[in-house]
Amino acid sequence: MNSVRARAALGATLVVAVALIGAGLAVLFVLRANLTDQAGLQAEVTARNVATQLDLDVPYDRLDLPDGEDRPVRVTGEDGRVRAASEDLEAMTGTPAVPGEDEDRPSFGNGTATVDGDTADYRFAVVRADGRDGGTVTVAAGAPLAAEHRAVDTVRDAMLIGLPVLLLVVAGVTWLVTRRALRPVEGIRSEMAAITASEDLSRRVPEPNSRDEIARLARTTNETLAALEASVERQRRFVADASHELRSPIASLRTQLEVGAAHPGLLDVPGAVADTVRLQQLAADLLLLARLDAGERPGRARLDLAATVREEVAQRGAGDRLPVTVDAEEHVEVAGSPGQLGRVLGNLLDNAQRHARGAVSVTVRREGGDAVLTVADDGPGVPEPERERIFERFVRLDDARSRDAGGAGLGLAIARDVARRHGGTLTVSATADGGALFVLRLPLAS
Q: Which residue type is seen at 287?
A: L
CATH architecture for residues 6-151: 2-Layer Sandwich (3.30)
- Torsion over CA: 55, 60, 62, 68 (sign): positive
Can you spell out the DSSP letters for 348-393?
A: HHHHHHHH-SS-EEEEEEEETTEEEEEEEE-SS---GGGTTGGGST
Domains in the chain: boundaries: 6-151, 213-293, 301-443
Q: How far is the CA of 405 from the CAs of 45, 139, 141, 250, 398, in angstroms?
A: 117, 123, 119, 19, 11
Give this prediction's pTM: 0.51
The domain made up of 213-293 has a fold known as: Helix Hairpins (1.10.287)
- Please check whether the domain covering 301-443 is classified as CATH 3.30.565.10: yes
Residue 2: predicted pLDDT: 66
Q: Which phi-psi region, left, alpha or beta, contains residue 71 (left: φ > 0; alpha: ψ -120 to 50)?
A: beta
Residue 430: predicted pLDDT: 93
Burial of 321 (0-12, 13-18, 19+ CB in 10 A): exposed
26-46 pLDDT, tens digit per residue, is 999 999 999 999 999 999 999
User: Do residues 36 and 77 touch, judged by C-beta distance below 8 A?
Assistant: no
Are β-strands 73-76 and 107-115 bridged in parallel, bridged antiparallel, or unpaired? unpaired
Per-residue pLDDT of the chain (446 residues; tens, 9 = 90+): 567 778 888 888 899 899 989 999 999 999 999 999 999 999 999 999 999 998 888 888 888 888 877 889 999 988 888 989 998 888 999 888 888 776 678 999 999 999 888 899 999 999 988 877 667 889 999 999 998 889 999 999 998 898 899 989 988 888 888 888 778 888 888 888 888 888 888 888 888 887 788 888 888 989 998 988 887 887 777 777 777 677 777 887 788 778 777 877 777 777 777 778 777 777 777 777 777 777 777 778 899 999 999 988 888 765 556 888 999 998 899 999 998 899 899 899 989 988 888 889 999 999 999 999 999 999 999 998 888 989 887 777 654 434 444 466 788 988 999 999 999 999 999 998 889 999 999 999 87
Nearest-angstrom CA–CA distance, 137 and 139: 7
Q: Which residues contact 33 (CB under 8 A, 6 or more apart)?
A: none
